[in-house]
Amino acid sequence: MPQLSEERRKELIRYVHDLVEEGRVSVRNVRMDANHQLKDLQTGEHISEDKIRRAENDIQTMTDRHINELKTVQEQKEKEIMKV
How many other CB atoms sit within 10 Å of the CB of residue 65? Answer: 11
Calpha distance 17→37 (Å, rounded): 30
Most trustworthy range by pLDDT among 2-6, 36-40, 72-76: 72-76
**Cα angle at 61 between 60 and 66, to 5 degrees?**
95
Instruction: Classify 47 in phi/psi space as left (phi over 0), alpha (psi -120 to 50) or beta.
Output: beta
- What does the pLDDT average to over 3-16? 91
Residue 37 pLDDT level (bands cut at 50, 70, 90): very high
Question: What are the chain's domains?
Answer: 18-82 (1.10.132.20)
Contacts of 59 (CB under 8 A, 6+ apart): 31, 34, 35, 38
